[in-house]
Amino acid sequence: MNPTGKCRLCNNHRELQHSHIIPKFVSDYQKKTSATGYIRHSESINHRKQDGLKEYLFCEECEVRLNKWETPTATHIFHPCNRREPMPYQYDSWLLKFAVSISWRAMLHLQHLGQIQETKEASELVDHAMSVWHEYLLGERPHPGKFEQHIILFDKINPVKGSDILERLPGNFNRFLMRGTDINQAHSKGHPLYIFTKMGRMGILGFIGLSHPKQWQGTKIHVEGGHIGGNVTLPANFFDYLIERAEQLQMEHSKISAKQRDKISKTFYKNQEQFLESELYEAIIADIEMFGKKKTFRCSKKNRENLL
């Protein structure tokens, strides 16, 4: 039986559902296109999972409300992007609602984990953003104001061979861009900038304290709808941030135990055909072609399956 408590969205005391932090359609896709049929969370890297991160957050009625925004996002943005259908993609008012819900619940998750350590001024700014996002989701505000939502669609990259940029990239960079999931609050000298939620090839940024949002072009989600995908302009330091997050993910994967590596290896060899047809295989090949096997795996041949 599910516990009862205050629903974090409607604030009513009701039976709480085991709510997804990152929507279920993301983890379903990750499993379907993996080499093993399982996924792993960086917070518990030595346990393979059948589902994404969950917490008891919302009542059933609010789960239905969130789903009304998730379903069109999956249908019109997430899956077409993964199928590499021609961009841009058209969206309606549901996309901003979806993005705000993602940024808001991602921050709830980080706060629950105690991973937000801020000054009083920074904490007040985050609380203000969370309050505005909450009110917007409840229909009490017409838009999220300065706490904008931006979306970026990722894919593997093709830098010129021999370029300086290759030296800066970690060996898992294409895997991170194509398949990585991540929740992180970005800071600059203790000042909160945005909450970043990466869901495979789709990333949502909830702006909190950015002072120059005009550096981001082609990524803002508008209230009434529009188009996304295609040419975008991003600040150079965001690319550095992506490198940092990919390196963090690579470090987390390096913590997989010998027992779990053996389990992965057995599953891999039992289902080699599934692996060769998986999106993960495509991402690994992209990394090998870009970086070579040694940098791609950063481990012995025996333990390469720990990155599958």
Per-residue pLDDT of the chain (308 residues; tens, 9 = 90+): 789 999 999 999 999 999 999 999 999 999 888 877 666 555 555 555 556 789 999 999 999 999 999 999 999 999 999 999 999 999 999 999 999 999 999 999 999 888 776 788 899 999 999 999 999 999 999 999 999 999 999 999 876 666 678 888 999 999 999 999 999 999 988 889 999 999 999 999 999 998 778 889 999 999 999 999 988 999 989 999 999 999 998 888 777 777 766 766 666 666 777 777 889 889 999 999 998 888 888 754 444 443 44
CB 200 within 8 A of CB 178: yes
Look at residue 301 in the predicted model and tell me its pLDDT.
45
pTM (two decimals):
0.89
66 to 3, 27, 88, 95: CA distances (angstroms): 20, 16, 24, 11
CA–CA dist 216, 287 (Å, integer): 27
93 to 196, 220, 223, 288: CA distances (angstroms): 21, 13, 6, 40
CA–CA dist 36, 32 (Å, integer): 9
CB 16 within 8 A of CB 224: no
The strand pair at 149-153 and 89-91 is best described as: unpaired
Could you give the dihedral angle defined by the CA atoms of residues 218, 219, 220 and 225, in that order, rounded to the nearest 10 degrees? 80
User: Of 260, 275, 285, 255, nearest to 171 (Cα)?
Assistant: 285
Domain enclosing residue 25, as ranges: 4-307
Total count of domains within the chain:
1
